[in-house]
Structure formats: structure tokens, C-alpha cells
Chain A
């Protein structure tokens, strides 16, 4: 149980294009999902908290107009990187909380974004 998927696993795009990443909880409902970014050889940094049916909460320094988050249902959150640039190249990981004790986060397999 508690499986989280992400799609796509890898994406290469040209500078200026937009990329959408999907995060799904496969066997549970997740009222809260989180989006993280990880640069090579660094730790994970929380970008935003996504709540079903409401606006996402962004961490300080994360541009909400550049990283659009939509939590359309209890099993799906999407992250759209708009007008991507090479500095947005990173490993994006989502997580979802089950809501039941101990309410820990389960992580998706990640999406490797490369912007040329």
C-alpha cells in the first residue's frame, strides 16, 4: 500500500516551453501532497504544499507563477513548470500523506527535468 507514482519519469525540453508533471496516489486518497526539488548532490528542498480543492502554499523564494500547482482530486496533483529555463533543470519529487497514523509522507519515484 501507500504507492505514489509520477509521470513522466524523465523529460527533456527546450528553453521557454512548459512542462507538466503528474503525481498520483495509487491506493489511497491524499488530501495533502508536497512538491520537492533536488539539485545534483544536494538535499531535498520543499517547494510547495498542495491541498485538494484549495490553492497551494509556496515556500519562500519559490515563484508561484512559474511553478503552477493544481490538486484537482484526492489522488492527483500536477506541477507545471512554465517557460522553463536551464536553471530549472532538476529532480522533482512529489509526496503524499495517507492521513492515517503515523501520517507519514510517501514519495514518488521522481521526475528528471532537463531544459536545453
Chain B
């Protein structure tokens, strides 16, 4: 059974600081996704990582994928309050499988 774990589960950080959210998964995967969820809302797609060593950046967020270590990271640079949300990673075991297994989620709170 595929397991997807994120840490930390909760993260409270000050504005302007840097931090990293980790996503570990238990079996080989073709691709990994990062999503953002605001309270009461659905998911917003952030990144799609398709290969080992993939790195993508958008604004203050940068995601990377190491398929050998079965690890993805979401790095936050110089956090601002608007980044407060819950972040999920999700793993697709194989392209043909088409099913996502979501991580536990990381609730991020940015403190002014």
C-alpha cells in the first residue's frame, strides 16, 4: 500500500523566513504534485513534477523531486502572510494508474 507522509504537519513561521516542507512516499512513482488549499476551498494546483531531479519555481515557492530517495520538497522563501494555507503533496504511482494518493497535509501559518 502506498503511503505518503508529509512533515511537518503544522508549521508556524514568521514573515521573511525560509522553510521547507517534506513529502516522503513509500513506492516508486512517475509523478508528484503539490497543491494548496485555503480554508473551505478546493485545491489549487501548484506544481507537477515529472522526473527525477525536477525543480520548479513559482514566486516564493520552489518544489523539487528526488525519485531515488522517494522525496519531494516544497521550499518557501521569505514567507509572506498570503502563503498561509494547507499544502498537500500527491503521488501518482504510475501514469496508467491515474490515481492520486494524497499526503497528510501541512498547515502553514505565517505570522506577521
Q: Which chain A residues have a beta carbon within 8 Å of chain B's beta carbons? A: 32, 34, 42-46, 49, 93, 97, 102-110, 112
Contacts and interface: CB of A to CB of B under 8 A. Distances in A.
B31 A43 contact: no
30 contacts: A32-B98, A34-B99, A34-B100, A42-B105, A43-B88, A43-B102, A43-B104, A44-B43, A44-B88, A44-B90, A44-B102, A45-B102, A46-B100, A46-B101, A49-B98, A49-B99, A93-B43, A97-B98, A102-B31, A103-B98, A104-B45, A105-B100, A106-B45, A107-B35, A107-B42, A107-B45, A108-B42, A110-B41, A110-B42, A112-B40
Contacts of A97: 98
Interface of B: 31, 33, 35, 40-43, 45, 48, 50, 88, 90, 95, 98-105
B11 to A, nearest CB: 15
**Per DSSP, are chain A's interface residues mostly helix, strand or loop, or mixed?**
strand
Contacts, number: 42
A103 B98 CA distance: 9
A107 B105 contact: no
Contacts of A108: 42
Contact of A104 (B33, B41, B104): B33
Contacts of B98: 32, 49, 97, 103
A43 B45 contact: no
Contacts of B102: 43-45
A45 B102 CA distance: 7
A78 B2 CA distance: 28
Given A43-B103, A43-B104, A103 B95 contact: yes
Instruction: List 8 tightest A-B contacts by C-beta distance, closest first.
Output: A110-B42, A107-B43, A43-B102, A44-B102, A109-B42, A107-B42, A43-B105, A104-B48
A112 B104 CA distance: 20
B101 to A, nearest CB: 8
